[in-house]
């Protein structure tokens, strides 16, 4: 697979001139690579907005009492921050950007199975995003329920809930369309010779993810629909006054939203499983164990939703069951950590920026995972529920897991996507500042949660002041790191050095084509004979 085919005569996908011109050549393109970049750019804009909201919230929390905003503004900020980050960035993030771009390349296909559906799913994404964000500007004030839309508050509050809920509902279709596309692509379009056990691990992770997207998203769809009906037509579903049970709303919401956590984290694990063998220059340790644990996470991840509801008043039987299942689902995640670490054992490691991101991922992901175990224990959960500890925990998992993997993936595949290399020095400096800021921001929140600071309040008592100052300072540091990282990447897309086809000497299929890849990916569909990480 090392004989690289450089197709100079073939225009690459960035230069290709189709039927449309200018921006239309992008927004009407059915090319999976262009769609991947469309998602990337949309998410970059949305991520910047949501990150600034997060920063403003941390500045508000730098001192007790009102600092820069009032309570209602704070409520709407954490709602919008949550909706944007969850529904618009981390849930679709890795599959929509890197899945779209690299899934066909990695399995030796020319495109996904349904290119038009793929484009449609981007349009639905934009539509959903626009509707969800419009909630901020019209009606009776921005939503203030948090991203979970808990009943009965979500249909009692006077704020502008309908667009937010409808937007989230529409985004579900985008997610489902992508999921269907990927599953069919992997079933039908793998290159000759690539049987399931020769498929690289990122596609495997996408496979598990896609099934969750397809089978869990409809539940939240119908639940949000019920909220809409309850608000507009007074149909009783969750309103206790009409006989409904608000806890049932929580059940339905988390039946989706817990698996959604695995939609976020599985592809992240897939990315790490690509980066580590590349820079360790070794076959990944326990390929089969990683595959099986991916599928196990996807399956068991369905049955642990109740651990978000330990204090809601569920039955004891349900509490014990969910707690046990929560501990069980940690096992396959731990298996992966051991696999990655074992891969590094006695390897001659080539330390590059993507590899550093993967190392940082391992560090923060372990903190996130282990703090999850604390929350999964019933007795500890009663104490820590809805405190800053929970906020720290899921930021370590969601931002520390998916976010680090996203940036890791961006630095890993950047030369392939744009045909240029970023400035490695600045990338590493940015990472160092970002990583320091990240830990300074979220580690104190574990402590704050343990001494009793609740989440979602713009104010706190004087005892919590010290750690909050540290945390807010960390937020500023982290954002400056992000600015360096993103500026470096944006700048290098035009001015970076020209990258070769396989700058990391990696062995998976996407590195066998030119950088940036030609429109049709492969001039001839490759025949696969080896396992994906055949370095020895």
With H, G, I as helix, E, B as strand and everything else as coil, classify residue 12. Answer: strand
- Residue closer to other proteins (CB basis): 65 or 243: 243
Running DSSP on this structure, what letter comes out for residue 509?
Answer: G
Asked if 327 and 369 count as a contact pair (C-beta separation under 8 A), the reply is no
Tokens 């240029």, residue located? 420
- The Cβ of residue 432 has, within 10 Å, a number of other Cβ atoms equal to 14
Q: 454 - beta bridge partners?
A: 387
Q: How far is the CB of 160 from other proteins (least distance, A)?
A: 21
Residues in touch with other proteins (CB under 8 A): 18-19, 30, 110-111, 113-116, 176, 179-181, 183-184, 187-189, 214-219, 221-223, 225-226, 229, 233-237, 242-245, 247-248, 251-252, 255, 299, 302-303, 306, 313-318, 321-322, 519-520
- The Cβ of residue 526 has, within 10 Å, a number of other Cβ atoms equal to 19
Q: How far is the CB of 173 from other proteins (least distance, A)?
A: 9
Q: Using CA atoms, how far apart are residues 90 and 92, in angstroms rounded to an integer?
A: 6
Q: Is the peptide bond before 446 cis (omega within 30 degrees of 0)?
A: no
Q: How far is the CB of 58 from other proteins (least distance, A)?
A: 36
Asked if 146 and 161 count as a contact pair (C-beta separation under 8 A), the reply is no
- Residue closer to other proteins (CB basis): 18 or 146: 18
Q: Using CA atoms, how far apart are residues 333 and 273, in angstroms rounded to an integer?
A: 12
Q: How far is the CB of 403 from other proteins (least distance, A)?
A: 28
- The Cβ of residue 289 has, within 10 Å, a number of other Cβ atoms equal to 17
Report which of 171, 35, 46, 45 is spatially closest to residue 103, judged by C-alpha positions: 35
- Residue closer to other proteins (CB basis): 490 or 523: 523
Asked if 452 and 384 count as a contact pair (C-beta separation under 8 A), the reply is no
Q: How far is the CB of 240 from other proteins (least distance, A)?
A: 9
Q: How far is the CB of 124 from other proteins (least distance, A)?
A: 14
Q: How far is the CB of 256 from other proteins (least distance, A)?
A: 9
Give residue 283's region: left, alpha or beta (phi > 0; psi -120 to 50): beta
Tokens 């599928």, residue located? 295
- Residue closer to other proteins (CB basis): 119 or 489: 119
Q: How far is the CB of 270 from other proteins (least distance, A)?
A: 20
Alpha helices per DSSP H over 66-200:
71-83, 93-94, 100-106, 115-134, 153-156, 161-188
Asked if 54 and 46 count as a contact pair (C-beta separation under 8 A), the reply is no
Distance from the Cα of residue 536 to its chain's centroid: 33
Q: How far is the CB of 237 from other proteins (least distance, A)?
A: 6
- Residue closer to other proteins (CB basis): 195 or 536: 195
With H, G, I as helix, E, B as strand and everything else as coil, classify residue 497. Answer: strand
- Residue closer to other proteins (CB basis): 185 or 402: 185
Q: How far is the CB of 191 from other proteins (least distance, A)?
A: 14
- Residue closer to other proteins (CB basis): 65 or 316: 316
- Residue closer to other proteins (CB basis): 17 or 346: 17
- Residue closer to other proteins (CB basis): 313 or 425: 313
Q: Which helix (H) or strand (E) holds 421?
A: strand 420-421
Q: Using CA atoms, how far apart are residues 393 and 406, in angstroms rounded to an integer?
A: 18
- Residue closer to other proteins (CB basis): 103 or 388: 103
- Residue closer to other proteins (CB basis): 178 or 353: 178
- Residue closer to other proteins (CB basis): 13 or 458: 13
CB neighbours of 503 closer than 8 A, spacing ≥ 6? Answer: 415, 421, 515
Q: How far is the CB of 399 from other proteins (least distance, A)?
A: 29
Q: Which two tokens stand for residue 6?
A: 């450089």
Q: Which two tokens stand for residue 246?
A: 């608000």
Asked if 404 and 364 count as a contact pair (C-beta separation under 8 A), the reply is yes
Q: How far is the CB of 106 from other proteins (least distance, A)?
A: 16
Q: How far is the CB of 374 from other proteins (least distance, A)?
A: 23
What is the b/e burial string over 13-50, where b = at least 16 CB atoms within 10 angstroms of the residue's CB?
Answer: beebeeeeeeeeeeeebbbbbbbbbbbbebbeebbeeb
Report which of 414, 380, 396 is spatially closest to residue 485, judged by C-alpha positions: 414
Asked if 227 and 145 count as a contact pair (C-beta separation under 8 A), the reply is no
Running DSSP on this structure, what letter comes out for residue 387?
Answer: B
- Residue closer to other proteins (CB basis): 244 or 467: 244
Q: How far is the CB of 112 from other proteins (least distance, A)?
A: 8
- Residue closer to other proteins (CB basis): 30 or 134: 30
């Amino acid at each position: 697979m090392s004989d690289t085919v450089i197709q100079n005569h073939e225009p690459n996908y960035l230069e290709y001139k189709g039927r449309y011109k200018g921006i239309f050549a992008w927004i009407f393109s059915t090319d999976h690579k262009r769609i991947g970049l469309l998602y990337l750019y949309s998410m970059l804009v949305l991520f910047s907005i949501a990150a600034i909201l997060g920063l403003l919230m941390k500045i508000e929390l730098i001192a007790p009492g009102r600092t820069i905003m009032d309570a209602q503004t704070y409520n709407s900020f954490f709602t919008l921050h949550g909706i944007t980050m969850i529904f618009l960035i981390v849930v679709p993030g890795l599959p929509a950007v890197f899945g779209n771009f690299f899934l066909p390349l990695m399995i030796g296909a020319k495109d996904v199975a349904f290119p038009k559906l793929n484009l449609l799913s981007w349009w639905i994404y934009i539509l959903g995003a626009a509707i969800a964000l419009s909630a901020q500007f019209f009606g009776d004030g921005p939503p203030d329920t948090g991203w979970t839309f808990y009943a009965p508050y979500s249909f009692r509050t006077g704020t502008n809930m309908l667009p937010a809920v409808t937007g989230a509902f529409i985004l579900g279709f985008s997610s489902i369309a992508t999921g269907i596309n990927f599953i069919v692509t992997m079933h039908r379009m793998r290159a000759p010779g690539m049987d399931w056990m020769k498929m690289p691990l990122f596609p495997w992770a996408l496979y598990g993810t896609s099934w969750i997207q397809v089978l869990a998203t409809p539940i939240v769809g119908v639940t949000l629909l019920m909220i809409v009906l309850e608000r507009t037509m007074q149909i009783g579903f969750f309103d206790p006054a009409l006989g409904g049970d608000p806890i049932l709303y929580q059940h339905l919401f988390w039946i989706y939203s817990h698996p959604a956590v695995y939609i976020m984290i599985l592809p992240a694990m897939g990315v790490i499983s690509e980066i580590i063998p590349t820079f360790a220059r070794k076959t990944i340790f326990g390929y089969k164990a990683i595959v099986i644990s991916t599928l196990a996470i996807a399956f068991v991840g369905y049955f642990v939703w109740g651990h978000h509801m330990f204090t809601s008043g569920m039955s004891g039987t349900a509490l014990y069951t969910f707690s046990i299942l929560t501990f069980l689902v940690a096992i396959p995640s731990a298996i992966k950590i051991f696999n990655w670490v074992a891969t590094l054992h006695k390897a001659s490691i080539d330390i590059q920026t993507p590899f550093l991101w993967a190392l940082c991922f391992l560090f923060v992901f372990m903190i996130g995972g282990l703090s999850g175990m604390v929350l999964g224990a019933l007795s500890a959960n009663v104490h820590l529920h809805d405190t800053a500890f929970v906020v720290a925990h899921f930021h370590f998992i969601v931002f520390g897991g998916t976010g680090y993997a996203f940036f890791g993936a961006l630095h890993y595949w950047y030369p392939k996507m744009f045909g240029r290399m970023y400035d490695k020095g600045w990338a590493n400096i940015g990472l160092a500042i970002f990583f320091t800021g990240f830990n300074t921001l979220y580690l104190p929140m574990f402590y704050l949660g343990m001494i009793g600071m609740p989440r979602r309040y713009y104010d706190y008592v004087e005892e919590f002041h010290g750690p909050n100052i540290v945390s807010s300072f960390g937020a500023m540091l982290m954002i400056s790191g992000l600015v360096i990282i993103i500026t470096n990447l944006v700048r290098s897309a035009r001015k970076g050095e020209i990258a070769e086809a396989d700058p990391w000497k990696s062995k998976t299929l996407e590195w066998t084509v030119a950088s940036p890849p030609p429109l049709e990916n492969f001039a001839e569909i490759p025949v696969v004979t080896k396992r994906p990480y055949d370095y020895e």
